[in-house]
Amino acid sequence: MNSPEPRSDSPRISYRLAIASTLSAGAALLLAVVLLIIVEFFTLRSTLLDETRVKAAVIADNVSAALVFQDAQATGEIIRTLRASPIVEGAAAIDGDGVTLASYPQGFANVAPDMQRFRQEDHQFSLQRLEMLAPVKHNGERIGSLYVAVSMSALHRQLAVFALVSLSIAVLAMLVAYTLLSRVRHSVRQAEQKLTHLAHVDAVTGLSNRNAFNERLEFAIREAGQFQETVAMLLLDLDNFKQVNDTLGHQAGDELLRVIGQRIVRTLRREDFVARLGGDEFAVILRNVNARSEAMQVCTKLVDTIALPVPIEGHDFFVTASIGVAFFPDDGEDSKTLTRNADTAMYQAKIAGKNAFELFLPAMNADVKKRVSMETCLRGALQNGELSLHYQPKIDLMSGSLLGFEALLRWKNGQMGGMVSPADFIPVAEDSGLIVPIGEWVIEQALADLRRWNEGRRKKLHIAVNLSARQLKVDGIARRIAQLVAESAVPAEWLELELTESMVMENVHAQIETFQELRKFGVRLAIDDFGTGYSSMSYLKRLPIDTLKIDRSFVNELPKNNNDLAIATAIVALGHSLGLTVVAEGIETEAQADALLNLGCDIGQGYLYAKPMPADRIEQYLSVLKLRP
């Protein structure tokens, strides 16, 4: 399933190329052989001509006296010496009048009528024979001619042998060259395959890499487009891989990636495709998906399998995955769009709380756009003074007196359409890291306001500020907060930091040190939204906290809802048994306040007492309070 590249038809092409190059080499060799044969033919013919001319000249010289004396017998004897040469077909001595004096063999054609043919040259070539007419001279005078006919058959035989040998050599050379070439080709192909392998395989997990993934996705899209099939593209990101990598080192991180990679592979069908794109990002291609539910089933299985503990170096590690899914052709017609949309869906899965999957929806793009523009606006919010704090009073339920405020962040931006809900912009601030400077500004501003309000007050008020998870991860956050408190020139115990229950419990042993440090500086700590998360009682006991805040969901239906009443009762009892102050928020009616007071809850906060107010209204609120008895 993870053969890196889609099988192309390149081997067939290279085979055809090899055939073509061999054929052309063969044609060139054949042409060379033909040319050689032609050259050889003319060389052989020229040699034959020279030899025949020499032979004829020798005989012509010998026969001159016999011709002078008209001695036919002697003439015949002399020319018959040519019989020693098997290629000579026959010869004749012709006297000055063109009469044949002697010839051999018997009945050899009388050539006299043909003597005209030798006017231009002393020889004539035909297909079968070479004919030569050599002059017979005596004392410088031509007294006759010697006619010699030489068979060409020997030359033809030589030529045939030459052609055969040349062709054999050519064929042999071709074979040798072909063998060498194919050997070279083979090693080149091997090298290419190795390079392809290197270029397409992720070294850590042995899965395909981003390169191979891109190719495979293109291929899958092309094929699905032809057959009207649906392709699902899954983008999978491990949620807390960085922690493992940071705490255990890269080797353990690599091992974790390998294990996760194998789990993904085992979860899928054979024809599906997995790649590691880099970092903690994996991608899966599901081809020929019949229904969206099919992809969802795969996602569910993946999320569940990945969440299982991973044993590394004797410890069990937990990682979770967020998966984004985009479908071809519904969510994108090309690989780029598809990848981008799968990424958007994955991002949504992360926002939705991780360890989950999301199918891409076109609205997500709008969400993402909104988030991006919100982030851009938020960057300028601090400088432009668009941020402000509202304060909600906290009341002693028993006495009804004011104890302090909870500071709540507000953002007003014209581009975003006025007031922006904290539920919308706080996650953006967290993701972008803007929460860190903003959080510091909140503490500074709140402490500055509080200092002003506490001036001349006998009973000093305190202020509660919410701290986000992202802020808690900043290195040396405790010292930074202590520094801010010191710069504000207020006692540290005026400041209470509120942390949500889920935030505290998520990584409790990593944060316990930070809490202890903060506590050492004198800052008070509160657990917000208590009852909604999963608290470990043993941790709760060890945490240096001062306050528990009952979540507003349990206050809403008090006192009628018995379940809520039971929970509220339990939380108050638990808080008090641990020596903590218990706060109830979201109190809107006297009945709720009475019920909570009856339970023994210490502090109340809600519309019944006061809505959150901007700082200038607080001054007014305080002055009104003073007038009261």
Interface residues with another protein (CB under 8 A) are 62, 64-66, 68-71, 74, 78, 95-97, 99, 138-141, 143
Tokens found for residue 321: 């995955």
Amino acid at 297: Q
Cα distance between residue 231 and residue 286, in whole Å: 6
Min dist CB 65 to another protein, Å, is 3
The closest alpha carbon to 301, from 285, 281, 321, belongs to: 321
CB contact at 8 A, 558 and 595: yes
CB of 143 to another protein, least distance (A): 7
CB of 93 to another protein, least distance (A): 13
SS3 249: coil
H or E segment and range at residue 530 = strand 524-530
**Encoded tokens for 288:** 């020929």
- Nearest approach, Cβ of 161 to another protein (angstroms)? 40
Min separation Cβ 110 and another protein, Å: 15
What Rg value do the Cα atoms of the chain yield, rounded?
53
Give 71 or 223: the residue with its C-beta nearer to another protein. Answer: 71
Q: Whole-number minimum distance, CB 97 to another protein, in Å?
A: 6
Tell me how far CA of residue 548 lies from CA of 1, 464, 589, in angstroms.
Answer: 54, 12, 21
> Could you tell me where the DSSP H helices lie in 490-607?
501-506, 508-521, 537-542, 552-555, 562-577, 590-599
H or E stretch at 611 = none
CB of 144 to another protein, least distance (A): 9
Dihedral sign from CA coordinates of 313, 318, 321, 322: negative
Residue 103 or 514 having the CB closest to another protein: 103
Q: What DSSP character marks residue 108?
A: P
Of residues 30 and 74, the one with the C-beta less far from another protein: 74
Give 81 or 502: the residue with its C-beta nearer to another protein.
81
How near is the Cβ of 106 to another protein at its closest, in Å? Answer: 19
Listing from the earlier edge strand, what are the strands of the sheet with 123-125?
100-104, 88-95, 141-151, 129-138, 123-125
Comparing CA positions, the residue from 464, 426, 457, 420 lying closest to residue 583 is 464
Please tell me the distance from the alpha carbon of residue 406 to that of residue 423, in angstroms, as a whole number: 17
CA dist 364 to 152, 331, 351, 357, 563, Å? 94, 11, 12, 14, 38
Give the residue with the Cβ less far from another protein, 140 or 414. Answer: 140
Query: Minimum CB separation from another protein for residue 29, in Å?
Result: 50
